[in-house]
Amino acid sequence: MKNFATKIFNYRSYTPIPFLILMLIFQQASAISLIIGFAMALCGELIRLWGVCYAGSETRTTGKVGGVFLVISGPFAYVRNPLYVGNITMYLGIGIMSMALYPYLQLAALFFFYWQYSVIILEEENYLRKTFGADYEDYFNNVPRLVPRLTPYKNDKVEQPPFKLDAGLRSERRTLQAFSSVTIILVVLYLLGV
């Protein structure tokens, strides 16, 4: 299972591509779907950006699971995997923007990404448990995996990286470019009536 999880982890940046292609080919966007979907996708990207501003460029690694800090601040104080929550929200928002094969493609993507991230998360949890021991166990037992809690988790004993907006924006450049490109393409297709 470890080798399979590692492959999923390494290729996680490419798995949205088939869904994006289908969404562009079969798009049936309307003004309402573009507005609602964009708002949802933007929320997902803002969640990601908030997390990356704390976790840094380590979130872009593809070689192996790892990290210098046990990040428990920012969005990590509410949910253990805010970047994956942000991804799922963003993908679902783009799916709503496109209205392609609605709701079947959106549901298929939702289930696929939930499954993909579940496999990756188990591998990451094993790494964090081995690396950060009791601090991670306390965090694990108090902060949900994918559904945010209402109040922030705190543990003053755990050293935290600083919030770095400039580094977060640099790290998110690829995601922001992809999100902008897909949005522009969907808006143009809608305006052209394609």
| pLDDT value at 130 more than 90 | yes
pLDDT in tens, 12-37: 889 999 999 999 999 999 999 999 99
Instruction: Identify which of 187, 60, 75, 115 has the alpha carbon closest to the alpha carbon of residue 107.
Output: 115
| pLDDT value at 1 more than 80 | no
In this prediction, what percent of the chain has a pLDDT beyond 70?
Answer: 93
| pLDDT value at 60 more than 80 | no
| Number of domains into which the chain is organized | 1
- Planar angle of CA 62, 18, 15, nearest 5 degrees: 20
| pLDDT value at 117 more than 80 | yes
Residue 57 belongs to domain spanning: 2-192
| pLDDT value at 40 more than 80 | yes
